[in-house]
Structure 1
């Protein structure tokens, strides 16, 4: 059972709350509709239940709030907005990535695609799906972890009647298995037709909480739908007979040959048509349009109007909706018990984006789910080869710069820029195309997710650097022979420097995109290191030093418990020499600053407002 108690949003101080002391229940084994006009606070109410919005109140899912459920994704399935994911990703790849995020087997992706009826679209790109198919994939994502409760925001918006019928059947099936379903809608007829209970809200406050039968009886008007080629003649006949019998009947001429007749039934309309010889193609009882919107301060009252010529009569359904509103002004209606205002509940925490249960597998699926790494590698290799050939032909550059394709005019070589781009996409792509959204309900493991991203991006950066250097060497040997290339006397320091530059750029992109939530900001942070930080570090390091650091490798060997071989001294000296360079020092400082900023902005799983 889903219980929402005292949900109240807390926007800016000069604005009224979008949701104001909202309390209702969505029982298990039933479908509940949250009905309200656009802007009435339906989506905000769902976000408050999921602790994605600052506010007061609490929502209990089978007796526990969301932040106290060990694996919320297996308790609550959510559909908020469009299908999350990069449009270039396939349907199956996206669901397999979400399986890793939720900690369920990858085979579950194919199973839910069968359930929602889009198994044949598993290899289609998300960006090529129609609206109906996109909604089915979104429901498949919500059903991945087999949750008990479903929270769906406008799931039938923009769907065809056939897709709507399928959706309502799916929700009914989930409820029949003992699950709780809560969906929002602004269509009163859809709520009455598809839900077992209807919770009506207006301006963020509770208006009525009724079962579907009571809602249809008190809030909707029954009508007789007529289809006839003589619509005008039949409307005139029904109007004259209603006036003669002094009955309140309203006739509305719809588009085409359709009539909607309020205040009567199929038998009376059919008999009138038969007496006057009017041909009728269709005659059916339907639930008509919703009544005038009800405010929290007033209950619906019965109304009746006399019939007039054409379509001037209006017959409102009798009865009032029994409901209670904790903050309604004025005396309560007869027979309706007024609640006493309860103590204001404490503020609810706001959940930050959590990490997946299988971070390394998730990150590998995210990286290789699109062609971005392959395209980036191809572009980097092509630009690197052209730049290396140009440097070798012009002369004047060292062999290390020629192999790295790093002229003096460029802040970074192409391979480092490619590594920084792949790192910037690590978080930036998720914020642009949410693949691991907060409402997925995964257990917060930000350190595990960060470690996985850093490890995968470092491996990609090293692979990209090795590929670019090998391509440059092969191109130089093919064009110029062995002239530009020779065996270096000291190869450890250049190799360590090259690897450190690539990994540092990749990590800077990862951390910056996580801090600023943008791939563009991540790439800008990578470029800011050689452009902005290196000149400042160079000014500090180029000054005279009173205490040289010679012999550091020997002193470190003496501090170690186990004696390493003498060959390791050259590797350690190469690492120290790289760190002493302005670029290495600037990268270390930038990574430390970004890591601290990431810790302040990203590692907090909860924030109290």
Structure 2
């Protein structure tokens, strides 16, 4: 049972709200159509139900509002607008990533691929799918969590007649299994043909809430559909006889040799055609051709029962213990309803790995970094004047960062930037949920990729230099541990700056800008500050710390601490630490402000 109570969107720019005090219900075991012309507020109503749009009102899904559901994707399946997903991701990769977000086994993706008729297209990229397959993928995404309720926005838009018939058969099967289906449409004939109940909107307000039979009788004009090779002649004689008999009959010429006759029946039209010798190829009674006159302002023609809050429950509390036996995600009202929704992936680490490996940008960036580092290392090593660490990193003096740091920052920026550009998590509040689990997963995966990339660059550059210039000329320096820590810290810091920058400003370009701001803006400023006469050296800090630490540590620990402090004391290390701290604080602040706004 879906109950929408008093849904009202927030007005914008002194305009009336797109949805105004909308109240209705969609029952389980039935298909409900939300009908209205373009601009009637159908999509806004769905977004209000999903808490994606600011406004007032409440929507109950089997007695619970969305924010009280433990696992929304397992209760509500959603298809809004275009199919979410990176156009370069394969169909299989997209569904597997969403399996990790929904918390269902990967086998569910293969099962739904077969169920929606996408066999053989698993390796096709989303951007190359035809619109029929595109819609099937969207429906498969909505069904991943085996939800009880389906909310679909214009699911049949752009589909051919056979594809549309298949779609509505699938929705009917879901309803027959006890589920709730609510979809929007702008076509009255579509609603009359495929729905059990029709909720009609106009300018954001409820016009009618009716059973489909009553809707067809009161809101649709009955007609006689005729196909004849002499359409013009038949139209003339039908209109002539109607005028003679003073009957209100209207004849409308359709495309080709078809007519629609309003105000008559099949027998009368057939008799007229027989008397005048007009051959008839098709003669059928239909409902369609436009709605009946609008109900008076403030009245609800044939309004059905008004949705109510569950009896005996306070607003926001579960219903009276109703349980849908055997349905996925069903609850019995005895606990579990007060948990916060899983607005981020239920398996965030697996989700992030699928996201990273599912697009071609990842291997392209890695290949470009390795190739650029090798070329720069060979050029720097040829002169023999550059220091070996700079040669191995492929870091010329004119570049603000080495290729590895830029690549790690770019991959980190993509981890959030692509989430905002191609949203996949749409059943929570907003396209990209700000949850600690998802952030930690992105930071962990970005750090792992950065470490692998940094180590690979050094190893590949070292081997290429030894191969080209000879092994005896390229020796490993004695302070290699400190150099490695500095190098890997720089790479990981750039990756995290890209993640947080894109997460705060919701764009991959902002993540890249955050990475470049460290060497371009912060490091020169800190160098001026740290070279002043009042700055004290950190050389004796380990000894001073030992005085307050109590137990004495070993000389080896002393050396490691001194090395770590030297690394952190570098201007780049200080600037990167400050940048990451600032971005993390901004990320937390914007997340809290966004929650308060909702």
Same fold (TM over 0.5): yes
CA contact (8 A) 1:363 1:456 kept: yes
Deviation at 1:73, TM superposition (A): 1.0
Equivalent residue number for residue 580 of structure 2:
591
Distance 2:198 2:549 in 1: 71
CA contact (8 A) 2:414 2:499 kept: yes
- After superposition, the C-alpha distances for 1:151-173 in whole angstroms (9 at most, x for unaligned) are 11111111111111111111111
Gaps in structure 2 of 5+ consecutive residues:
307-314, 317-339
Shift of 1:438: 4.3
Q: Deviations over 1:180-214 (max 9, x none)?
A: 11111111110111111111111111111111111
Matches within 5 A, 1:535-554: 535-545=524-534, 547-554=536-543
Distance (whole Å) between structure 2 residues aligned to residue 353 and residue 532 of structure 1: 39
1:422 counterpart SS class? helix
Q: How far does residue 252 in structure 1 lie from its aligned partner after superposition?
A: 1.1
Q: CA deviation at 1:459?
A: 0.8
In 2, Cα distance between equivalents of 1:141 and 1:607:
30
* Aligned twin of 1:309: none
Indicate if the aligned counterparts of 1:354 and 1:442 stay in contact, CA closer than 8 A.
no
Residue 245 of structure 1 and its aligned partner are, at CA, apart by 2.2
Any conservation in 1 of the 2:538–2:565 contact (CA below 8 Å)?
no
Distance 2:537 2:35 in 1: 74
Residue 382 in 1 paired to residue 362 in 2?
no
Residue by residue over 1:12-66, the C-alpha shift from the partner in whole angstroms, topping out at 9 and shown as x without a partner, is 3622211111111111111111111111111111111111111111001111110
TM-score normalised by length of structure 2: 0.90
Is 1:456 paired with 2:445?
yes
Distance 1:419 1:96 in 2: 25
1:38 alignment counterpart = 38
How many angstroms does 1:280 deviate by? 1.0
**Contact in 2 for aligned 1:78/1:440 (Cα 8 Å):** no
1:395-421 deviations in Å (ceiling 9; x for gaps): 321111111111110000001000001
CA distance in 1, matches of 2:341, 2:73: 14
User: How far did 1:270 drift?
Assistant: 1.6
* Matched residue, 1:281: 281
Matched residue of 2:491: which SS? helix
The question of 1:232 aligning with 2:212 is answered no
Say whether the 8 Å CA contact 1:202–1:295 is kept in structure 2: no
Does residue 322 in structure 1 map to residue 302 in structure 2? Answer: yes
The number of aligned residues is 567
* 1:111 corresponding residue in structure 2: 111
1:428 and 1:571 map into 2 onto residues whose CA distance is 37
1:202 aligns with 2:217: no
Q: 1:380 to 1:608 in 2, by over 3 A?
A: closer
Asked whether 1:447 is paired with 2:436, we answer: yes
Q: Deviation of residue 468 (structure 1)?
A: 1.2
TM-score of the aligned structures, taking structure 1 as reference length: 0.89
Question: Do 1:242 and 1:248's aligned partners in 2 also have CA atoms closer than 8 Å?
Answer: yes
CA apart distance, 1:450: 1.0
The offset of 1:112, in angstroms, is: 1.4
Q: Shift in Å at residue 544 of structure 1?
A: 2.2
Name the residue aligned to 1:80: 80
Aligned counterparts, 1:3-22, within 5 A? 3-12=3-12, 14-22=14-22
Report the alpha carbon displacement of residue 555 of structure 1 after superposing the two structures with TM. Answer: 4.9
Answering whether residue 503 of structure 2 is matched by residue 514 of structure 1, we say yes
How far did 1:442 drift?
11
- Structure 2 contact 72–428 (Cα < 8 Å) conserved: no
Seen in structure 2, the aligned counterparts of structure 1 residues 324 and 363 have a Cα distance that, compared at 3 Å, is closer
Aligned to 1:272: 272
Q: What does 1:387-536 correspond to in 2, within 5 Å?
A: 387-439=376-428, 446-482=435-471, 484-536=473-525
